[in-house]
Amino acid sequence: MTEGKIIKALSGFYYVQTNNEVLECRGRGLFRKKNITPLVGDLVVLERTEDQKGYITEIKPRKNKLDRPPIANIDQGLIVCSATMPDFSATLLDRFLVLVESKHITPIIVITKIDLLDDDELENIQHVKQMYEEIGYDVELVNASAGSDLSNLEKYFANKITTIIGQSGVGKSSLLNAIHPSLEIKTDEISVSLGRGKHTTRHVELIEIGGGLVADTPGFSLLDLDEIEAEELAMYFPEMNEIQHACRFRGCLHHKEPHCAVKQAVEDKTINQQRYNHYLHFLNEISLRKPRY
């Protein structure tokens, strides 16, 4: 038996990195019977065959997984937002942050296309950067066009599995091409009428960059909060989670309850009003969700 990590999944084949080689593998039929799908990032046990291929016989316990993109055991997520084309959306960024935090994945915020901003727009993005850094997030402002120096991003990759997250058209594939030009990942032009790009990444693959493994993943523009309960939501806003123990009532949702430490912090401007508004928006979305049985 050999152990390894799935680094690529394509058309029912799984490519497993062992200590010194990559083996093309199939999954055992028992996975299908149990409705289990091996994922990129999975640590697996495999049985070699005579033709130097193999069968996956066991999937080790996962510390986390994402369904879109399908990947497991992620250490961190580069949340890529564009400063323009499509316009920067703090609501969408906070939605991504909540999802990533809920999966116990360390988020890193990357805002692209800053070279396309005028002075006032750039100043606004600088304020955004400062606000998120004060919360405790790492934030990088980059120009992902060809020839840009993105060496400052490589420091995040060492000894980590990183997934790239963001809506279509924000420059995820361009970003990786700029970091690692030999990848030559296909990119498409932004649709002027829609303000977003086409999905150009067709499968999930872990690529060695900066001493770690990075997945370039399909962009998506909608995120649901189906796996998050109302009572959990504030945990995924670090500035709220830090002080919510000071609320008078256990189980405080930081909305209509009296003597709420979070609402007081918003009033005192130690919690950003816009972030709190996004929290209330997500809370309302969760409350309107149809019951699950």
Flag whether 260 is marked binding. yes
**C-alpha to C-alpha distance for 38 and 139, rounded to whole angstroms:** 32
The reply, when asked if residue 112 is annotated as ligand binding, is: yes
Three-class SS state of 30 = helix
Instruction: Tell me the pTM.
Output: 0.85
- Where exactly are the structural domains of the chain? 2-61, 71-216, 233-287
Residue 247 known to bind ligand:
yes
Residue bearing tokens 């879109």: 68
Q: Is 6 among the annotated ligand-binding positions?
A: no
**Residue 148: pLDDT above 70?**
no
Per CATH, the homologous superfamily of domain 71-216 is P-loop containing nucleotide triphosphate hydrolases (3.40.50.300)
193 is in an annotated binding site: no
Q: For 104-113, 202-211, 262-271, which range has the lowest pLDDT when averaged over its residues?
A: 202-211
2-61 belongs to which homologous superfamily?
A: Nucleic acid-binding proteins (2.40.50.140)
Q: Is 53 annotated as a binding residue?
A: no
pLDDT, tens only, 119-144? 999 999 999 999 999 999 999 998 86
The annotation status of 33 as a binding-site residue, yes or no, is: no
Token pair in block for residue 10? 């394509």
User: Is 81 annotated among the ligand-binding residues?
Assistant: no
Has 114 been labeled as part of a binding site?
Answer: yes
166 is in an annotated binding site: yes
pLDDT digits (tens, 9 = 90+) for 223-264: 789 889 999 999 999 999 999 999 999 999 999 999 999 999
Q: Please give the CATH superfamily to which domain 233-287 belongs.
A: Probable gtpase engc; domain 3 (1.10.40.50)
Token pair of 13 as six digits: 């084949």
**Residues 6+ positions from 138 with CB-CB distance below 8 Å:** 108, 109, 156
- Tell whether residue 110 is among the known ligand binding residues: no
What one-character DSSP code corresponds to residue 240?
Answer: H
Is 174 part of any known ligand binding site?
yes
